[in-house]
Amino acid sequence: MSLTTLRERLSAAGLQVSSSGCGTDGRVYPTVCGAPDGRIGIFEIALDASAQLPTLPAGFDLLSQLPGAVRVACP
């Protein structure tokens, strides 16, 4: 999915995205047609200082759950 589509899903869930970018999850994948490739979208979500972490839509997780993840330039 494109960053725009992913951003729209977060917005539809009531989350305000302050920035977005591309990354990889840091895992190794075989090069096979149709297989996952480890590319991820990285989003910063605006929260006020007293807010608890929001419930994220299915398919989204905190970046801290992917310790090997790194930001890369978007294609």
Q: What is the pLDDT of residues 22-63, one digit of tens each?
A: 999 999 998 889 888 999 999 998 877 666 777 889 999 989
What does the pLDDT read at residue 49? 60
For the cut 90, the answer to whether the pLDDT of residue 70 exceeds it is: yes
Give residues with Cβ within 8 angstroms of 35, minimum separation 6: 29
- Chain centre to alpha carbon of residue 4: 11
How far is residue 62 from each of residues 8, 9, 32, measured CA to CA in Å? 17, 15, 27
Predicted TM-score (pTM) of this structure? 0.84
* Segments making up each domain of the chain, as ranges: 3-72
3-state helix, strand, coil in the chain (%, to 5): 15, 25, 60
- Give the pLDDT mean for 1-7: 93
What does the pLDDT read at residue 51? 66
